[in-house]
Structure formats: structure tokens, C-alpha cells
Amino acid sequence: MNQNTKVTPPRPDERLMSAAPYVRGGVIADIGTDHALLPVWLLLTDRITGAVATDIRQGPLRSAAQTVEKYGIGDRITLVLADGLSGIENYNPDDIIIFGMGGELIASIIDKAKWVRNPQIRLILQPMTRRAELREYLLAHGFCIIDEAMSEAGSRIYQTICAEYDGRGGEYDTAELLLGRHNLRRSDELTCRYVGQLKAAYSHRKAAKTRAGYDTGGEDAVLEALSSLGL
């Protein structure tokens, strides 16, 4: 591609774009990359200086390679076959993005990579499930959650968590673990809608357990916490 050619970057959807405000401009590692769409966009819009994009399977990496080749930036992004964060420390990323996985899997990936317990490294995470468990893990292992955000794509609401290691961590209450302290402080339209979705989901779960004769203490505690928010 001619270096003087004006390139129109492929703008990712709002789910992926929720990472962009937290990227600081250095080198990112996109773990479990989605066609390399996010790192390519960040590179083409000069928001980062370099990137490494990884996946545990060859198929997604081939898709990522097609995106990279299409926009002629193979000299600025490295594609790596990797299991989680294994070996990624060799690329010295400033920001690590892990989207599209369950919260427990993300926690497991972070736990195996002790090198990310570094105040200079930022984690930008988007758990598809088990969001409370991921927040609980981060706070219990010395990570400070510095911001959180809600986004919407394809009629689904997603949560993005931005964390850095400070060795202290912290504690969230039940509602904060589920929704994020920063999201609750803002209480924007997406957060309020998501609270409604959680109330409906836990009410449905409680009703099903009640019919089956099971204990509903967990559901009761969550519903009480959500109701106390007044959203």
C-alpha cells in the first residue's frame, strides 16, 4: 500500500470501541483478537504506536492476518499464536485488552501471568459472563479498578473494566461487583437499563428455584441489593 494513500480505518462496533478511551498511546496486546479490528483501527488512527494481537487458534489469527494485510500495516502489528498471556511479556505491552471471554477465564489468564502485577501495565477487560467474579478476583489480588463503562452492540449491553495493579486492591459490595462502582456513580441510561435486566433475570431465577423447592437466599440478596439502588 502506498504510504501516502489516505486510509479509512474500519471502525469497530461500540463493544470493541469501549476499550479506546482507556488506551494510553503505547503498545497494546489484544488477547483473543477479533479479526484484529481494534488494534488495526487504533494504529490507523494513530492512537497507539504498536500492537501484538493473539489467539489460541490458527483460524482467528488467519482472519486477523487478512485485516492487517488489507490495510498494509504488517510492520506495526505482530500476530502471535499464544495461550492467554503466555510469552506476551516479551512484547512489553503497556495496555492489555482481553475481550470476549468469560470472567472466570479472564481471571485465570491474569492469574497465570504474574508479570502483569506491575503498576505500569493497564488491563482493559470485557467479561461476557461472571463479571462479579472477575471484579472480586481483581480486587482481592491487588488490582485497583480505576474506571468502568457500559456499551451496547447488537441489542446487548456490555461492561468494560479498566484496572491497574497497586498492591492494595479493595472491596465492592454486591451491587458494585455486579455492575461496577464507577458505573453506579454515573448511573447513565445503559446502567439503569442493565439494572432492570439483572432484576428480571434474578427474579426469573428465584421463581424457578422456588418452584423446584430450592433455597433462594442468593437471589434474594442480589435482588435486595439491586432494589436498594433506586434505579
pLDDT tens, position by position, 27-42: 999 999 989 999 999 9
| Alpha-carbon 87 to chain mean position | 20
The verdict on residue 153 lying in a domain is yes
Three-state DSSP class for residue 202: helix
**Residue 231 confidence (pLDDT):** 83
What pTM value is reported for the model? 0.94
* 71: CATH: 3.40.50.150
Total tally of structural domains belonging to the chain: 2
The verdict on residue 6 lying in a domain is no
The verdict on residue 191 lying in a domain is yes
Same-domain pairing of 147 and 59:
yes
- The residue ranges of the chain whose pLDDT is under 50 are 1
The verdict on residue 7 lying in a domain is no
Same-domain pairing of 67 and 111:
yes
Instruction: Determine the Cα–Cα distance for residues 184 and 48; give it in Å rounded to an integer.
Output: 30
- Cα four-point dihedral sign 166, 171, 174, 175: negative
Domain assignment of residue 156, given as a range: 14-172
Burial label for 181, CB within 10 Å (0-12, 13-18, 19+), is middle
Q: Which of 144, 172, 200 is the last residue of a domain?
A: 172
Same-domain pairing of 114 and 140:
yes
Same-domain pairing of 230 and 202:
yes
Instruction: Determine the Cα–Cα distance for residues 71 and 157; give it in Å rounded to an integer.
Output: 30
Same-domain pairing of 69 and 129:
yes
The verdict on residue 51 lying in a domain is yes
For 107, what's the count of Cα atoms within 13 Å in the CB-facing half-sphere? 19
**Residue 217 confidence (pLDDT):** 97
**Residue 6 confidence (pLDDT):** 53
For the chain, helix, strand, coil in percent to 5 are: 45, 20, 35
